[in-house]
Amino acid sequence: MSSKTRLELTWIGKEDRPRLEPRILIEDPSKGHHAASRGEGDIFDNMLIHGDNLLALKALEADYAGKVKCVFIDPPYNTGSAFEHYDDGVEHSLWLSLMRDRLEVIRKLLSPEGSLWITIDDNEGHYLKVLCDEVFGRQNFISTAVWENFYGRSNAAAISPSHNYVLIYAPLGQQWKYKRNLLPRDEEAASKYKNPDNDPRGPWRLGPIFAAEERHDGLMYAICTPSGREVRPPKGSHWRMVEPDFWRMVDEGRIVFGSKGDNNPAVKLYLNEVQAGMVPRTWWPHGEVGHSQEAKREVQALFPGILPFDTPKPERLLQRIIQIATDRGDLVLDSFAGSGTTGAVAHKMGRRWVMVELGDHAVTHIVPRLKKVIDGEDKGGVTEATGWQGGGGFRFYNLAPSLLEADKWGRWVISKDYNAAMLAEAMCKHMGFTYAPSQDVSEYWKHGFSSERDFIYVTTLSLTHDQLRAISEDVGPERTLLICCKAFNARSEDFENLTIKKIPHAILARCEWGKDDYSLKIASLPEREPAPKPESNPAAPAKKGRRAAVDAPSLFDEAEG
Ligand SMILES: C[S@@+](CC[C@H](N)C(=O)[O-])C[C@H]1O[C@@H](n2cnc3c(N)ncnc32)[C@H](O)[C@@H]1O
Q: How far is the CA of 74 from the centre of ligand 1 (A)?
A: 7
Q: What is the pLDDT of residues 341-363, one digit of tens each?
A: 999 999 999 999 999 999 999 99
340 vs 21: CA distance, rounded Å? 26
Q: How many helices (H) and strands (E) does the chain have?
A: 14, 29
Residue 68 has pLDDT above 50, yes or no: yes
Residues having CB closer than 6 A to ligand 1 are: 52-53, 74, 76, 309, 311-313, 336, 338-339, 341, 356-359, 519, 556, 559, 561
The number of angstroms, rounded, from the C-alpha of 392 to the middle of its chain's C-alpha atoms is 21
201 vs 271: CA distance, rounded Å? 9
pLDDT of residue 524: 47
447 vs 505: CA distance, rounded Å? 19
Cis peptide before 504 (omega within 30 of 0): yes
Q: How far is the CA of 55 from the centre of ligand 1 (A)?
A: 14
Residue 467 has pLDDT above 50, yes or no: yes
Q: What is the pLDDT of residues 249-279, one digit of tens each?
A: 999 999 999 999 999 999 999 988 887 789 9
- Residue 364 makes CB contacts below 8 A (sequence gap 6+) with 306, 307
Closest CA to 454 of 440, 434, 470: 434
CB of 144 closer than 8 Å to CB of 166: yes
Provide the 3-class DSSP secondary structure of residue 98. Answer: helix
Residue 537 has pLDDT above 80, yes or no: no
Residue 520 has pLDDT above 80, yes or no: no
pLDDT of residue 39: 86
The structural domains of the chain, ordered by start, are 25-184+279-399 (3.40.50.150), 187-275 (no CATH), 404-507 (no CATH)
DSSP 8-class letter at 362: I
Q: What is the pLDDT of residues 216-249, one digit of tens each?
A: 889 999 999 999 999 999 999 999 999 999 999 9
314 vs 308: CA distance, rounded Å? 14
Provide the 3-class DSSP secondary structure of residue 145. Answer: strand
Q: How far is the CA of 498 from the centre of ligand 1 (A)?
A: 46
User: How distant, in Å, are the alpha carbons of 312, 346, 519 from that of 457?
Assistant: 46, 38, 35
* Number of neighbours of residue 509 by Cβ within 10 angstroms: 7
Across the range 46-67, mean pLDDT stands at 97
Measured in degrees and rounded to the nearest 5, phi and psi for residue 50 equal -100, 110
Q: Quick one: what percent of the chain has pLDDT higher than 90?
A: 80
Lowest mean pLDDT among 33-47, 103-117, 139-153: 33-47
Q: How far is the CA of 19 from the centre of ligand 1 (A)?
A: 23
Residue/partner pairs of 209-214 with CB below 8 Å, 24 or more apart: 209/239, 209/240, 209/241, 209/255, 209/264, 209/265, 209/266, 209/267, 210/234, 210/237, 210/238, 210/239, 210/240, 211/237, 211/238, 211/239, 211/240, 212/236, 212/237, 213/237, 213/238, 214/238
* AA letter at 201: R
DSSP string covering 6-57, please?
Answer: ------TTTT---------EEE-TTT-EE-SS--TT----EEEEES-HHHHH
Across the range 472-501, mean pLDDT stands at 94
pLDDT of residue 215: 87
Q: How far is the CA of 103 from the centre of ligand 1 (A)?
A: 15
Element at 60 (helix H, strand E): helix 53-64
What is the residue with the minimal CA distance to atom 26 of ligand 1?
Answer: 338
Residue 474 has pLDDT above 70, yes or no: yes
Mutational pocket test of ligand 1: of 71, 358, 398, 519, the residue with most ligand atoms within 8 Å of the beta carbon: 358
50 vs 399: CA distance, rounded Å? 7
pLDDT of residue 138: 97
Residue 417 has pLDDT above 90, yes or no: yes
Q: What is the pLDDT of residues 437-464, one digit of tens each?
A: 999 999 999 999 999 999 999 999 999 9
Element at 358 (helix H, strand E): none
What is the residue with the minimal CA distance to atom 3 of ligand 1?
Answer: 338
Residue 330 has pLDDT above 70, yes or no: yes
pLDDT of residue 282: 98
Residue 522 has pLDDT above 80, yes or no: no
What is the residue with the minimal CA distance to atom 12 of ligand 1?
Answer: 336
CB of 448 closer than 8 Å to CB of 456: yes
pLDDT of residue 186: 77
Q: What is the pLDDT of residues 143-163, one digit of tens each?
A: 999 999 999 999 999 999 999
Across the range 486-505, mean pLDDT stands at 92
- Nearest ligand 1 atom to the CA of 52 is 20
